[in-house]
């Protein structure tokens, strides 16, 4: 291997995984590409071997924990997970490093760095120059010599994976917090990788479809304390939904403006949206309110808040509607922590294991607008109090930060099999899912012509998803560094 080949590998792999992230026809499953990870493994080992003259002697002992990510955000769950991890480790992390290998790095704000809670320990690297960035990070990592390296990289960030491989060669333990639970993630097939899945569905796929061992650690959030402000303080129901523009703009029926007006017509109260919304979406909501004869004041937009709990308290939120249409895991945990009841959406029974896996057991869900209206019209103060207690109790049992502290203090993390019964809301459903995956895995082998060569591809998918092949083939066709196997969990 030489620098030219190494640079091409990084460019091609990053391009592949970026396309896989945008593959709208791909199923929402965690996945990986074995041969891509094998290439990056070779690259990382080569980079470590060629950097030997630039690093400290190997006798220097390993110490402390380093977190390696791509970029940070001032909203959403990803950066909050980094903050939660830092707070749960036995000792404060010695560093938070960012590859900046993502277009969003160009617009990253100072407030994003502050939100992660490690301003003085955060270091930025030039991710737009892939190989140079990797070299610089490997040399710096060799001087830092952490005992553990925690990966929270974006699923297409190949630089982070190469750096992790070099750290592995140094003797560092690599721990992947597998937060990309709906898309293919680069690096998941690295050898000697400790995988920590953050929800039970992802853990089931990792273990039973990808064939990898993983530990299950459900998402957490800081404990805001029990709810101490009343319900229905405004005389009518105040609902809220928290989510980014990307999430609420996803294609769904009903569209978000129609959902807002349906909620308001059913409650006669107010609806608060917490999170950024584009001007076009706000205009559509305003138009929908006017068309239904609802006042503009019945919809409140809160583009930014210091925390969800602060917004809940400030606007006296009575009821959350989980992030529409696909759900928000971190939002759900923070709502439970604050004792705010939540309604969940799953439009079809076939989606229940994905859409409802994180709800507390007593939480109701709706499949269509008629069911939602019926639920909203039956809510009173007593129902809200009972739901609040149930949500808070579930948070304390399954999502409290003390569970993260206990987990990361262990020398060896438990496996999914040991933890799944203790953390899944419906243990039997988790077992059924694992068995279903084992029974329904089927290899599909096709060939397509690329230049003067034929490439064979093998995809492991559920039988019902065999139609996945055409869009996936179009994503991979013509790649000089193409792969013989793509593994979709």
**Could you tell me the CATH number of the domain that includes residue 258?**
3.40.50.2000
Based on the fold, state whether residues 170 and 310 are members of the same structural domain: no
Domain assignment present for residue 411? The answer is yes
- Helix or strand run (H / E) with residue 163: helix 158-169
What residue ranges of the chain have pLDDT lower than 70? 23-29, 52-59, 250-252, 414-489
Q: Is residue 345 part of a domain?
A: yes
Is the domain of 313 the same as that of 206? no
The CATH number assigned to the domain holding 205 equals 3.40.50
231 occurs within a structural domain: no
| Rounded CA separation 271/317 (Å) | 9
- Indicate the number of domains in the chain: 3
Claim to verify: residue 344 and residue 282 sit in the same structural domain? yes
Buried b or exposed e, range 233-252, using 16+ CB within 10 angstroms:
eeeebbbbbbbbbebbbeee
296 with 327, same domain: the answer is yes
The per-residue pLDDT for range 398-407, each reduced to its tens digit, is: 999 999 999 9
Calculate the CA dihedral of residues 72, 75, 78, 79 and round it to 10 degrees.
Answer: 50
**Three-state secondary-structure class, residue 122:** strand
Q: Are residues 156 and 244 in the same domain?
A: no
Both tokens assigned to 377: 């019209």
Q: Structural domain of residue 139, as residue ranges?
A: 3-220+402-437
215 and 261 inside one domain: no
212, 69: one domain = yes
**Neighbour tally for 379: CB within 10 Å:** 21
**pLDDT of 242:** 93
Same domain as 155, residue 31: yes
What pLDDT, on the 0 to 100 scale, is given for residue 473?
A: 40
pLDDT at 216: 86
pLDDT of the residue at 184: 84
Q: Are residues 394 and 409 in the same domain?
A: no
Q: Answer yes or no: do 306 and 365 share one domain.
A: yes
pLDDT tens digits along 166-219: 999 989 999 999 988 778 889 999 999 999 999 887 887 787 777 888 888 999
Residues written for the chain: 489
Which of 381-384's residues contact partners 24+ apart within 8 Å by CB, and which partners?
381/231, 381/232, 383/341, 384/231, 384/232, 384/318, 384/319, 384/341
Question: Which helix (H) or strand (E) is 166 found in, with range?
Answer: helix 158-169
Torsion angle of the four alpha carbons 454, 458, 464, 468, in this order, in degrees rounded to the nearest 10 = -50
User: What pLDDT shows up at residue 58?
Assistant: 53
Both 408 and 386 in one domain: the answer is: no
């Amino acid at each position: 291997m030489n620098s030219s080949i190494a640079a091409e590998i990084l460019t091609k792999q990053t391009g592949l995984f970026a396309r896989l992230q945008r593959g709208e026809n791909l199923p929402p499953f965690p996945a990986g590409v074995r041969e891509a990870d094998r290439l990056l493994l070779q690259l990382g080992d080569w980079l470590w071997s060629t950097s030997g003259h630039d690093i400290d002697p190997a006798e220097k002992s390993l110490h402390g924990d380093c977190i390696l990510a791509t970029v940070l955000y001032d909203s959403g769950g990803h950066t909050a997970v980094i903050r939660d991890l830092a707070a749960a480790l036995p000792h404060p992390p010695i560093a938070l490093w960012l590859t900046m290998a993502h277009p969003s790095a160009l617009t990253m704000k100072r407030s994003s760095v502050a939100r992660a809670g490690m301003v003085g320990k955060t270091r930025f690297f030039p991710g737009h120059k892939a190989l140079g960035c990797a070299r610089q990070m490997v040399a710096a990592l060799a001087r830092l010599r952490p005992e553990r390296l925690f990966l929270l990289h974006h699923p297409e960030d190949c630089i982070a994976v190469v750096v992790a491989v070099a750290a592995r060669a140094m003797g560092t333990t690599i721990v992947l917090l597998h937060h990309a639970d709906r898309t293919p993630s680069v690096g998941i097939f690295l050898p000697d990788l400790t995988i920590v899945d953050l929800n039970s569905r992802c853990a089931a796929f990792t273990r039973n479809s990808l064939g990898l061992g993983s530990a299950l650690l459900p998402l957490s959030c800081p404990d805001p304390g029990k709810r101490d402000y009343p319900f229905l303080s405004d005389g009518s129901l105040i609902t809220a939904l928290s989510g980014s523009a990307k999430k609420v703009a996803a294609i769904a029926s009903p569209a978000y403006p129609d959902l807002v007006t349906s909620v308001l017509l059913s409650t006669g109260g107010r609806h608060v949206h917490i999170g950024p919304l584009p001007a076009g979406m706000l205009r559509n909501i305003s138009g929908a309110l006017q068309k239904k004869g609802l006042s503009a004041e019945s919809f409140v937009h809160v583009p930014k808040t210091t925390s969800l709990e602060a917004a809940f308290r400030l606007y006296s939120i009575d009821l959350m509607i989980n992030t529409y249409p696909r759900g928000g895991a971190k939002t759900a945990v923070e709502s439970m922590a604050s004792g705010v009841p939540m309604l969940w959406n799953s439009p079809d029974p076939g989606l229940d294991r994905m859409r409802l896996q994180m709800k507390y057991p007593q939480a109701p869900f709706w499949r269509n607008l008629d069911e939602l209206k019926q639920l909203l019209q039956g809510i009173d103060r007593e129902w809200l109090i009972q739901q609040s207690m149930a949500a808070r109790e579930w948070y304390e049992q399954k999502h409290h930060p003390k569970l993260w502290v206990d987990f990361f203090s262990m020398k060896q993390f438990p496996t999914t099999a040991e933890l799944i019964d203790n953390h899944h809301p419906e243990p039997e459903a988790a077992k059924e899912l694992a068995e279903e995956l084992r029974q329904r895995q089927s290899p599909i082998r096709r060939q397509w012509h690329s230049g003067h060569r034929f490439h064979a591809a093998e995809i492991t998918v559920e039988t019902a998803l065999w139609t996945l092949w055409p869009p996936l083939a179009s994503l991979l066709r013509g790649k000089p560094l193409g792969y013989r196997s793509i593994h979709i969990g």
